[in-house]
Amino acid sequence: MNVLKQALRQKQFVCVMEFVPKPQRFAAFEQVMARSEFRGWPMIAAIGDRVGSAFDLSPEEAFTTLTRPVPALLHFSGKNRERQDLLAQLERMDALGLDQLLMLTGDRLPGHEPGQQPVRYLESVPALQIVRQARPDWLLGAALNPFKYREEEGGAQYFKAEKKLAAGADFMTLQLGFDMDKFREAFDWMSRQPSPKPLLACIMSLTRGRASMLEQVAGVTVSPSMHALMAAEEAVSKDHAQARSVERLALQIIGLRLIGYAGIHLSGIHEERQLQALEQALDHWEAKVHTSEQWAQAWAASWQMPGVPPVTFHPPNMDWRAGESRVSASPTEKLRYHLLSGFHAQLFSRTTLLSRAFGWAVQRPLWSTATGARWLHRIERSLKRPLVGCDTCGRCRLEDTLYTCPETCPKGLANGPCGGTQLNRCEFGDRECIHSIKYRIAKAVGQTAVLSERLIPCVEVGGRHQSSWPQWFEVQTPPVPSRESVTTMAP
Protein backbone atom coordinates (compact mmCIF):
# COMPACT_ATOMS: atom_id res chain seq x y z
CA MET A 1 0.00 0.00 0.00
CA ASN A 2 1.36 3.45 -0.82
CA VAL A 3 2.37 5.85 1.92
CA LEU A 4 -0.19 8.53 1.15
CA LYS A 5 -3.13 6.14 0.90
CA GLN A 6 -2.15 4.44 4.13
CA ALA A 7 -1.72 7.74 6.00
CA LEU A 8 -5.04 9.11 4.77
CA ARG A 9 -6.80 5.91 5.73
CA GLN A 10 -5.23 5.95 9.19
CA LYS A 11 -5.94 9.68 9.55
CA GLN A 12 -2.26 10.37 10.01
CA PHE A 13 -1.23 13.95 9.15
CA VAL A 14 0.86 14.04 5.97
CA CYS A 15 3.50 16.36 4.58
CA VAL A 16 3.39 16.47 0.77
CA MET A 17 6.47 18.23 -0.65
CA GLU A 18 5.93 19.99 -3.96
CA PHE A 19 8.63 19.40 -6.53
CA VAL A 20 8.68 21.21 -9.85
CA PRO A 21 11.22 19.14 -11.80
CA LYS A 22 14.11 21.35 -12.86
CA PRO A 23 17.55 19.83 -13.43
CA GLN A 24 19.29 22.12 -10.92
CA ARG A 25 16.87 21.20 -8.12
CA PHE A 26 17.16 17.42 -7.95
CA ALA A 27 20.09 17.13 -5.53
CA ALA A 28 18.66 19.54 -2.94
CA PHE A 29 15.20 17.98 -3.21
CA GLU A 30 16.61 14.50 -2.64
CA GLN A 31 18.34 15.80 0.46
CA VAL A 32 15.01 17.16 1.72
CA MET A 33 13.21 13.88 1.00
CA ALA A 34 15.95 11.82 2.65
CA ARG A 35 14.24 12.50 5.98
CA SER A 36 11.12 10.46 4.95
CA GLU A 37 9.28 12.11 7.84
CA PHE A 38 8.84 15.67 9.02
CA ARG A 39 7.87 15.85 12.69
CA GLY A 40 6.66 12.28 12.42
CA TRP A 41 4.44 13.11 9.43
CA PRO A 42 5.12 10.89 6.40
CA MET A 43 6.63 12.85 3.51
CA ILE A 44 5.45 12.36 -0.04
CA ALA A 45 6.91 14.03 -3.13
CA ALA A 46 4.31 15.76 -5.30
CA ILE A 47 5.86 15.96 -8.75
CA GLY A 48 4.45 18.76 -10.92
CA ASP A 49 3.40 18.40 -14.52
CA ARG A 50 3.80 21.09 -17.21
CA VAL A 51 4.18 23.82 -14.60
CA GLY A 52 6.50 25.85 -16.80
CA SER A 53 5.77 24.61 -20.30
CA ALA A 54 4.79 21.59 -22.37
CA PHE A 55 8.50 20.77 -22.65
CA ASP A 56 9.12 20.33 -18.91
CA LEU A 57 10.51 17.03 -17.70
CA SER A 58 7.47 14.77 -17.24
CA PRO A 59 6.60 13.62 -13.69
CA GLU A 60 7.52 10.02 -14.61
CA GLU A 61 10.91 11.12 -16.02
CA ALA A 62 11.51 13.18 -12.90
CA PHE A 63 10.63 10.21 -10.71
CA THR A 64 13.08 7.94 -12.53
CA THR A 65 15.79 10.63 -12.38
CA LEU A 66 15.75 10.56 -8.58
CA THR A 67 18.67 8.44 -7.40
CA ARG A 68 16.63 6.97 -4.55
CA PRO A 69 12.90 6.14 -4.91
CA VAL A 70 10.58 8.20 -2.71
CA PRO A 71 6.83 7.95 -2.08
CA ALA A 72 5.44 10.01 -4.93
CA LEU A 73 2.18 11.66 -5.89
CA LEU A 74 2.43 12.41 -9.58
CA HIS A 75 0.44 15.24 -11.13
CA PHE A 76 -1.42 15.06 -14.40
CA SER A 77 -2.20 18.38 -16.03
CA GLY A 78 -4.74 18.48 -18.87
CA LYS A 79 -2.90 21.25 -20.74
CA ASN A 80 -2.85 20.47 -24.44
CA ARG A 81 -3.75 16.87 -23.71
CA GLU A 82 -6.29 14.32 -24.89
CA ARG A 83 -7.64 11.08 -23.46
CA GLN A 84 -4.86 9.01 -25.05
CA ASP A 85 -2.18 11.15 -23.37
CA LEU A 86 -3.72 10.37 -20.00
CA LEU A 87 -3.99 6.65 -20.74
CA ALA A 88 -0.34 6.63 -21.88
CA GLN A 89 0.71 8.20 -18.58
CA LEU A 90 -1.18 5.49 -16.67
CA GLU A 91 0.76 2.80 -18.52
CA ARG A 92 4.09 4.47 -17.84
CA MET A 93 3.12 4.74 -14.18
CA ASP A 94 2.16 1.05 -14.12
CA ALA A 95 5.65 0.21 -15.31
CA LEU A 96 7.11 2.24 -12.44
CA GLY A 97 4.79 0.74 -9.83
CA LEU A 98 3.11 4.11 -9.18
CA ASP A 99 -0.58 4.31 -8.40
CA GLN A 100 -1.53 7.75 -7.15
CA LEU A 101 -2.34 10.82 -9.18
CA LEU A 102 -3.40 14.41 -8.58
CA MET A 103 -5.63 15.39 -11.49
CA LEU A 104 -5.56 19.02 -12.62
CA THR A 105 -6.94 20.85 -15.61
CA GLY A 106 -3.97 23.18 -15.35
CA ASP A 107 -3.43 26.89 -15.72
CA ARG A 108 -2.86 28.67 -19.00
CA LEU A 109 -0.26 26.98 -21.17
CA PRO A 110 2.47 29.55 -21.96
CA GLY A 111 1.92 30.89 -25.45
CA HIS A 112 -1.78 30.02 -25.55
CA GLU A 113 -3.51 33.10 -26.91
CA PRO A 114 -7.30 32.99 -27.40
CA GLY A 115 -8.27 33.57 -31.00
CA GLN A 116 -5.03 32.07 -32.30
CA GLN A 117 -4.16 28.38 -32.49
CA PRO A 118 -6.69 26.65 -30.17
CA VAL A 119 -5.28 24.64 -27.27
CA ARG A 120 -7.37 21.88 -25.75
CA TYR A 121 -7.38 21.15 -22.04
CA LEU A 122 -8.49 17.75 -20.79
CA GLU A 123 -10.83 18.67 -17.95
CA SER A 124 -10.21 17.27 -14.51
CA VAL A 125 -13.76 15.90 -14.13
CA PRO A 126 -13.76 13.58 -17.18
CA ALA A 127 -10.05 12.86 -16.57
CA LEU A 128 -10.93 11.61 -13.09
CA GLN A 129 -13.68 9.42 -14.55
CA ILE A 130 -11.29 8.00 -17.14
CA VAL A 131 -8.68 7.05 -14.54
CA ARG A 132 -11.24 5.80 -12.04
CA GLN A 133 -12.60 3.43 -14.68
CA ALA A 134 -9.17 2.36 -15.95
CA ARG A 135 -7.53 1.97 -12.52
CA PRO A 136 -10.29 1.46 -9.93
CA ASP A 137 -7.86 0.99 -7.04
CA TRP A 138 -5.63 4.02 -7.54
CA LEU A 139 -5.57 6.91 -5.14
CA LEU A 140 -6.86 9.97 -6.99
CA GLY A 141 -6.73 13.58 -5.89
CA ALA A 142 -8.35 16.69 -7.27
CA ALA A 143 -7.91 20.41 -6.71
CA LEU A 144 -10.20 22.96 -5.12
CA ASN A 145 -9.74 26.71 -5.07
CA PRO A 146 -11.89 28.24 -2.33
CA PHE A 147 -10.05 31.58 -2.42
CA LYS A 148 -12.80 33.31 -4.35
CA TYR A 149 -14.40 36.55 -3.28
CA ARG A 150 -17.34 36.92 -5.68
CA GLU A 151 -20.37 34.66 -5.30
CA GLU A 152 -20.43 33.41 -8.89
CA GLU A 153 -16.83 32.20 -9.01
CA GLY A 154 -16.90 30.81 -5.47
CA GLY A 155 -20.24 29.05 -5.86
CA ALA A 156 -19.18 27.58 -9.21
CA GLN A 157 -15.96 26.25 -7.64
CA TYR A 158 -17.85 24.33 -4.99
CA PHE A 159 -20.38 22.96 -7.51
CA LYS A 160 -17.53 21.69 -9.67
CA ALA A 161 -15.83 20.19 -6.63
CA GLU A 162 -18.99 18.14 -6.03
CA LYS A 163 -18.58 16.75 -9.54
CA LYS A 164 -14.96 15.85 -8.79
CA LEU A 165 -16.08 13.86 -5.79
CA ALA A 166 -18.75 12.15 -7.89
CA ALA A 167 -16.12 11.40 -10.56
CA GLY A 168 -14.03 9.52 -8.03
CA ALA A 169 -11.66 11.88 -6.19
CA ASP A 170 -10.34 10.29 -2.98
CA PHE A 171 -8.93 13.52 -1.57
CA MET A 172 -8.66 17.18 -2.47
CA THR A 173 -5.74 19.56 -2.39
CA LEU A 174 -6.52 23.25 -2.04
CA GLN A 175 -4.95 25.96 -4.16
CA LEU A 176 -2.15 27.88 -2.50
CA GLY A 177 -3.72 30.29 -0.04
CA PHE A 178 -3.32 32.32 3.14
CA ASP A 179 -6.91 33.17 4.10
CA MET A 180 -7.63 30.84 7.00
CA ASP A 181 -11.36 31.72 6.97
CA LYS A 182 -11.48 30.27 3.46
CA PHE A 183 -9.60 27.15 4.60
CA ARG A 184 -12.27 26.77 7.30
CA GLU A 185 -15.02 27.39 4.74
CA ALA A 186 -13.69 24.64 2.44
CA PHE A 187 -13.39 22.26 5.37
CA ASP A 188 -16.98 22.96 6.42
CA TRP A 189 -18.14 22.43 2.83
CA MET A 190 -16.39 19.07 2.68
CA SER A 191 -17.84 18.05 6.05
CA ARG A 192 -21.34 18.58 4.62
CA GLN A 193 -20.74 16.24 1.64
CA PRO A 194 -22.48 12.85 1.70
CA SER A 195 -19.11 11.12 1.75
CA PRO A 196 -16.45 13.59 2.97
CA LYS A 197 -12.88 13.12 1.78
CA PRO A 198 -9.59 14.30 3.30
CA LEU A 199 -8.40 17.80 2.49
CA LEU A 200 -4.78 18.87 2.03
CA ALA A 201 -3.80 22.54 2.19
CA CYS A 202 -1.23 24.04 -0.18
CA ILE A 203 0.85 26.59 1.70
CA MET A 204 4.17 28.42 1.48
CA SER A 205 6.13 30.98 3.45
CA LEU A 206 5.27 34.35 1.96
CA THR A 207 7.86 37.08 1.50
CA ARG A 208 7.72 40.26 -0.57
CA GLY A 209 9.49 38.64 -3.51
CA ARG A 210 7.17 35.66 -3.51
CA ALA A 211 4.10 37.88 -3.13
CA SER A 212 5.17 39.72 -6.30
CA MET A 213 5.84 36.44 -8.10
CA LEU A 214 2.38 35.14 -7.12
CA GLU A 215 0.78 38.10 -8.90
CA GLN A 216 1.55 36.13 -12.06
CA VAL A 217 0.04 32.89 -10.78
CA ALA A 218 -3.60 32.48 -11.77
CA GLY A 219 -6.02 31.95 -8.93
CA VAL A 220 -3.73 32.93 -6.05
CA THR A 221 -4.89 35.93 -4.05
CA VAL A 222 -2.42 38.24 -2.31
CA SER A 223 -4.26 41.40 -1.25
CA PRO A 224 -2.77 44.92 -1.33
CA SER A 225 -2.65 45.01 2.49
CA MET A 226 -0.66 41.75 2.50
CA HIS A 227 1.79 43.27 0.02
CA ALA A 228 2.11 46.35 2.25
CA LEU A 229 2.98 44.22 5.29
CA MET A 230 5.58 42.23 3.33
CA ALA A 231 7.18 45.47 2.13
CA ALA A 232 7.26 46.91 5.66
CA GLU A 233 8.85 43.75 7.04
CA GLU A 234 11.48 43.74 4.34
CA ALA A 235 12.24 47.40 5.06
CA VAL A 236 13.32 46.29 8.57
CA SER A 237 15.65 43.65 7.16
CA LYS A 238 15.57 40.61 4.89
CA ASP A 239 16.26 38.35 7.86
CA HIS A 240 13.37 39.83 9.82
CA ALA A 241 11.01 39.39 6.87
CA GLN A 242 12.18 35.81 6.36
CA ALA A 243 11.74 34.93 10.04
CA ARG A 244 8.21 36.37 10.11
CA SER A 245 7.22 34.49 6.97
CA VAL A 246 8.39 31.20 8.49
CA GLU A 247 6.62 32.03 11.74
CA ARG A 248 3.35 32.51 9.82
CA LEU A 249 3.90 29.26 7.93
CA ALA A 250 4.33 27.40 11.21
CA LEU A 251 1.21 29.00 12.64
CA GLN A 252 -0.73 28.19 9.50
CA ILE A 253 0.20 24.52 9.84
CA ILE A 254 -0.88 24.51 13.49
CA GLY A 255 -4.17 26.22 12.52
CA LEU A 256 -4.84 23.73 9.71
CA ARG A 257 -4.30 20.83 12.09
CA LEU A 258 -6.71 22.40 14.57
CA ILE A 259 -9.36 22.73 11.83
CA GLY A 260 -8.95 19.08 10.86
CA TYR A 261 -6.95 19.13 7.63
CA ALA A 262 -5.45 15.77 6.69
CA GLY A 263 -2.13 17.26 5.71
CA ILE A 264 -0.17 19.99 4.04
CA HIS A 265 1.14 20.39 0.53
CA LEU A 266 4.30 22.43 1.10
CA SER A 267 5.32 24.68 -1.74
CA GLY A 268 8.52 26.70 -2.02
CA ILE A 269 10.72 24.47 0.15
CA HIS A 270 13.73 23.63 -1.97
CA GLU A 271 16.44 23.03 0.60
CA GLU A 272 16.95 21.24 3.87
CA ARG A 273 17.82 24.48 5.70
CA GLN A 274 14.33 25.85 4.91
CA LEU A 275 12.78 22.77 6.47
CA GLN A 276 15.00 23.16 9.54
CA ALA A 277 13.88 26.78 9.97
CA LEU A 278 10.25 25.66 9.75
CA GLU A 279 10.91 22.93 12.29
CA GLN A 280 12.33 25.44 14.77
CA ALA A 281 9.34 27.75 14.30
CA LEU A 282 6.99 24.81 14.84
CA ASP A 283 8.88 23.84 18.03
CA HIS A 284 8.45 27.37 19.31
CA TRP A 285 4.76 27.78 18.47
CA GLU A 286 3.57 24.29 19.29
CA ALA A 287 4.81 24.87 22.83
CA LYS A 288 2.67 28.01 23.09
CA VAL A 289 -0.46 27.29 21.05
CA HIS A 290 -2.79 24.52 22.14
CA THR A 291 -6.30 25.83 21.50
CA SER A 292 -8.13 27.56 18.67
CA GLU A 293 -8.36 30.74 20.75
CA GLN A 294 -4.61 30.81 21.39
CA TRP A 295 -4.02 30.10 17.72
CA ALA A 296 -6.36 32.90 16.54
CA GLN A 297 -4.52 35.44 18.69
CA ALA A 298 -1.07 34.35 17.53
CA TRP A 299 -2.17 34.23 13.87
CA ALA A 300 -3.68 37.71 14.00
CA ALA A 301 -0.53 39.08 15.67
CA SER A 302 1.69 37.49 13.03
CA TRP A 303 -0.02 39.64 10.36
CA GLN A 304 0.33 42.88 12.30
CA MET A 305 3.08 45.48 12.50
CA PRO A 306 3.03 48.89 14.17
CA GLY A 307 2.30 51.64 11.66
CA VAL A 308 1.08 49.21 8.98
CA PRO A 309 -2.66 49.16 8.12
CA PRO A 310 -4.56 46.01 9.19
CA VAL A 311 -4.25 43.09 6.78
CA THR A 312 -7.28 41.66 5.01
CA PHE A 313 -6.90 38.54 2.88
CA HIS A 314 -9.55 39.44 0.35
CA PRO A 315 -9.33 42.03 -2.44
CA PRO A 316 -10.63 45.47 -1.41
CA ASN A 317 -14.43 45.55 -1.04
CA MET A 318 -14.78 41.96 -2.30
CA ASP A 319 -15.39 39.60 0.57
CA TRP A 320 -18.03 37.02 -0.40
CA ARG A 321 -18.21 34.02 1.90
CA ALA A 322 -19.85 30.66 1.07
CA GLY A 323 -23.56 30.64 1.81
CA GLU A 324 -24.10 34.34 1.09
CA SER A 325 -26.55 35.15 -1.70
CA ARG A 326 -25.53 38.36 -3.43
CA VAL A 327 -26.20 38.04 -7.16
CA SER A 328 -28.84 37.20 -9.70
CA ALA A 329 -28.83 36.92 -13.48
CA SER A 330 -29.61 40.07 -15.47
CA PRO A 331 -32.95 40.25 -17.37
CA THR A 332 -30.99 39.75 -20.62
CA GLU A 333 -29.27 36.63 -19.28
CA LYS A 334 -32.60 35.19 -18.16
CA LEU A 335 -34.33 36.05 -21.43
CA ARG A 336 -31.52 34.47 -23.42
CA TYR A 337 -31.74 31.29 -21.35
CA HIS A 338 -35.53 31.01 -21.74
CA LEU A 339 -35.42 31.65 -25.48
CA LEU A 340 -32.67 29.10 -26.07
CA SER A 341 -34.18 26.48 -23.80
CA GLY A 342 -37.60 26.91 -25.50
CA PHE A 343 -35.97 26.66 -28.92
CA HIS A 344 -34.01 23.58 -27.82
CA ALA A 345 -37.18 21.89 -26.51
CA GLN A 346 -38.91 22.42 -29.85
CA LEU A 347 -36.08 21.31 -32.11
CA PHE A 348 -33.95 18.88 -30.12
CA SER A 349 -36.20 17.23 -27.54
CA ARG A 350 -36.76 14.27 -29.92
CA THR A 351 -40.42 14.32 -28.85
CA THR A 352 -42.14 17.25 -30.61
CA LEU A 353 -43.31 16.96 -34.20
CA LEU A 354 -40.80 19.60 -35.28
CA SER A 355 -37.97 17.82 -33.49
CA ARG A 356 -38.83 14.45 -35.02
CA ALA A 357 -39.00 16.02 -38.49
CA PHE A 358 -35.66 17.75 -37.98
CA GLY A 359 -34.10 14.54 -36.70
CA TRP A 360 -35.39 12.66 -39.73
CA ALA A 361 -33.99 15.33 -42.08
CA VAL A 362 -30.45 15.39 -40.64
CA GLN A 363 -30.21 11.62 -40.67
CA ARG A 364 -30.70 11.27 -44.41
CA PRO A 365 -27.83 9.35 -46.13
CA LEU A 366 -27.00 12.52 -48.07
CA TRP A 367 -25.35 14.00 -44.96
CA SER A 368 -23.10 10.96 -44.53
CA THR A 369 -21.23 11.68 -47.74
CA ALA A 370 -18.06 13.76 -47.46
CA THR A 371 -19.64 16.74 -49.25
CA GLY A 372 -22.92 16.42 -47.36
CA ALA A 373 -21.15 16.23 -43.99
CA ARG A 374 -19.07 19.29 -44.87
CA TRP A 375 -22.19 21.25 -45.74
CA LEU A 376 -24.06 20.18 -42.63
CA HIS A 377 -21.06 21.23 -40.54
CA ARG A 378 -21.06 24.62 -42.27
CA ILE A 379 -24.79 25.09 -41.76
CA GLU A 380 -24.65 24.22 -38.05
CA ARG A 381 -21.62 26.41 -37.49
CA SER A 382 -23.04 29.41 -39.34
CA LEU A 383 -26.27 29.24 -37.34
CA LYS A 384 -24.85 28.50 -33.89
CA ARG A 385 -21.64 30.49 -33.91
CA PRO A 386 -23.34 33.92 -33.95
CA LEU A 387 -25.94 32.68 -31.47
CA VAL A 388 -23.79 30.99 -28.79
CA GLY A 389 -20.15 31.12 -29.96
CA CYS A 390 -20.25 27.47 -31.13
CA ASP A 391 -17.05 25.93 -32.52
CA THR A 392 -18.83 22.76 -33.72
CA CYS A 393 -17.16 20.44 -31.25
CA GLY A 394 -19.17 17.56 -32.73
CA ARG A 395 -21.00 16.70 -29.52
CA CYS A 396 -23.32 19.48 -28.47
CA ARG A 397 -23.33 20.02 -24.72
CA LEU A 398 -25.49 23.14 -24.58
CA GLU A 399 -28.34 21.36 -22.81
CA ASP A 400 -25.92 20.47 -19.97
CA THR A 401 -24.38 23.92 -19.77
CA LEU A 402 -27.50 26.09 -19.61
CA TYR A 403 -26.92 27.17 -23.21
CA THR A 404 -23.55 28.75 -22.44
CA CYS A 405 -21.22 27.18 -24.98
CA PRO A 406 -18.11 25.60 -23.42
CA GLU A 407 -16.20 26.53 -26.56
CA THR A 408 -16.38 30.17 -25.44
CA CYS A 409 -14.08 29.26 -22.53
CA PRO A 410 -10.48 29.54 -23.80
CA LYS A 411 -9.76 26.12 -22.30
CA GLY A 412 -13.02 24.64 -23.57
CA LEU A 413 -14.14 23.64 -20.07
CA ALA A 414 -17.72 22.37 -19.78
CA ASN A 415 -17.93 21.03 -16.22
CA GLY A 416 -17.11 24.21 -14.33
CA PRO A 417 -14.43 26.83 -13.87
CA CYS A 418 -10.71 26.31 -13.64
CA GLY A 419 -9.12 27.82 -10.54
CA GLY A 420 -7.82 30.86 -12.38
CA THR A 421 -10.63 33.39 -12.09
CA GLN A 422 -9.97 36.71 -10.42
CA LEU A 423 -13.19 38.32 -9.23
CA ASN A 424 -15.12 36.57 -12.03
CA ARG A 425 -12.63 37.63 -14.71
CA CYS A 426 -11.25 34.83 -16.82
CA GLU A 427 -7.62 33.80 -16.27
CA PHE A 428 -6.98 35.02 -19.83
CA GLY A 429 -8.18 38.48 -18.83
CA ASP A 430 -10.30 39.12 -21.91
CA ARG A 431 -13.78 38.15 -20.69
CA GLU A 432 -15.94 37.26 -17.71
CA CYS A 433 -15.51 33.58 -16.85
CA ILE A 434 -18.30 31.76 -18.66
CA HIS A 435 -18.90 29.63 -15.56
CA SER A 436 -19.65 32.74 -13.50
CA ILE A 437 -22.32 33.67 -16.05
CA LYS A 438 -23.62 30.11 -15.98
CA TYR A 439 -23.78 30.23 -12.18
CA ARG A 440 -25.94 33.38 -12.26
CA ILE A 441 -28.30 31.85 -14.80
CA ALA A 442 -28.55 28.53 -12.95
CA LYS A 443 -29.35 30.32 -9.72
CA ALA A 444 -31.96 32.57 -11.34
CA VAL A 445 -33.80 29.74 -13.14
CA GLY A 446 -33.55 27.19 -10.31
CA GLN A 447 -31.15 24.87 -12.14
CA THR A 448 -28.11 24.81 -9.85
CA ALA A 449 -28.29 21.00 -9.66
CA VAL A 450 -27.11 20.99 -13.28
CA LEU A 451 -23.84 22.56 -12.14
CA SER A 452 -23.09 19.98 -9.48
CA GLU A 453 -24.64 16.79 -10.86
CA ARG A 454 -24.13 16.61 -14.63
CA LEU A 455 -20.76 15.10 -15.34
CA ILE A 456 -20.03 16.07 -18.93
CA PRO A 457 -17.67 13.75 -20.84
CA CYS A 458 -14.72 15.17 -22.75
CA VAL A 459 -15.01 15.76 -26.47
CA GLU A 460 -12.96 13.15 -28.28
CA VAL A 461 -10.33 14.46 -30.67
CA GLY A 462 -11.68 12.59 -33.73
CA GLY A 463 -15.19 13.98 -33.40
CA ARG A 464 -14.43 17.68 -33.54
CA HIS A 465 -15.37 20.07 -36.31
CA GLN A 466 -18.31 18.18 -37.65
CA SER A 467 -22.03 18.60 -37.21
CA SER A 468 -23.45 17.30 -33.95
CA TRP A 469 -26.98 16.97 -35.29
CA PRO A 470 -27.03 13.47 -36.86
CA GLN A 471 -25.41 12.00 -33.76
CA TRP A 472 -27.80 13.85 -31.47
CA PHE A 473 -30.77 12.10 -33.06
CA GLU A 474 -28.98 8.79 -33.62
CA VAL A 475 -28.62 7.78 -30.01
CA GLN A 476 -29.93 9.11 -26.80
CA THR A 477 -27.34 11.10 -24.87
CA PRO A 478 -25.66 8.59 -22.55
CA PRO A 479 -27.19 8.73 -19.07
CA VAL A 480 -25.36 11.04 -16.70
CA PRO A 481 -23.60 8.89 -14.09
CA SER A 482 -25.19 9.33 -10.72
CA ARG A 483 -23.07 10.07 -7.67
CA GLU A 484 -23.73 6.58 -6.31
CA SER A 485 -22.84 4.70 -9.49
CA VAL A 486 -19.50 6.46 -9.76
CA THR A 487 -18.38 6.41 -6.18
CA THR A 488 -18.97 2.69 -5.85
CA MET A 489 -16.09 2.26 -8.28
CA ALA A 490 -13.79 4.01 -5.86
CA PRO A 491 -11.59 1.94 -3.56
DSSP line for 468-484: SHHHHHHSPPPPPPPHH
Q: Which is nearer to ligand SF4, 323 or 429 (CB)?
A: 429
Q: Which is nearer to ligand SF4, 336 or 435 (CB)?
A: 435
Among 120, 411, 438, 440, binds ligand SF4 (CB under 6 A): 411
Q: Which is nearer to ligand SF4, 51 or 296 (CB)?
A: 51
Contacts with ligand SF4, 365-404, as mask; x by CB under 6 A: ----------------------------------------
Please choose, from the candidates 404, 400, 443, the residue with its C-alpha nearest in 3D space to the C-alpha of residue 426. Answer: 404
Q: Which is nearer to ligand SF4, 149 or 358 (CB)?
A: 149
Q: Which is nearer to ligand SF4, 418 or 490 (CB)?
A: 418
Please choose, from the candidates 394, 360, 361, the residue with its C-alpha nearest in 3D space to the C-alpha of residue 380. Answer: 394
Q: Which is nearer to ligand SF4, 225 or 452 (CB)?
A: 452
Distant-in-sequence, close-in-space partners of 72: CB < 8 Å, separation ≥ 6:
44, 45, 46, 47, 59, 63, 98, 100
**Interacting positions 415-454 with ligand SF4 (CB under 6 A):** 417-418, 420-421, 426-428, 433-435
- Distance, in Å, from the CA atom of 491 to the CA atom of 484, rounded to the nearest integer, reads 13
Tell me: does residue 214 bind ligand SF4 (CB under 6 A). no
Contacts with ligand SF4, 280-299, as mask; x by CB under 6 A: --------------------
Q: Which is nearer to ligand SF4, 148 or 435 (CB)?
A: 435
At residue 374's C-alpha, the angle toward residues 373 and 375, to 5°, is: 90
Residue 300: enclosing H or E segment and its boundaries?
Answer: helix 292-302
Q: Note whether 226 and 311 are within 8 A (CB).
A: yes
- Distance, in Å, from the CA atom of 421 to the CA atom of 417, rounded to the nearest integer, reads 8
Q: Note whether 169 and 193 are within 8 A (CB).
A: no
Distant-in-sequence, close-in-space partners of 329: CB < 8 Å, separation ≥ 6:
337, 440, 441, 443, 444, 445
The DSSP secondary-structure symbol of 463 reads G
Q: Which is nearer to ligand SF4, 33 or 414 (CB)?
A: 414
Name the one range near ligand SF4 by CB under 6 A: 80-88, 285-293, 406-414, 450-458. Answer: 406-414
Q: How far is the CB of 2 from ligand SF4 (least distance, A)?
A: 31
Contacts with ligand SF4, 235-274, as mask; x by CB under 6 A: ----------------------------------------
Q: Note whether 22 and 118 are within 8 A (CB).
A: no
Binding site for ligand SF4 (CB under 6 A): 409-411, 413, 417-418, 420-421, 426-428, 433-435
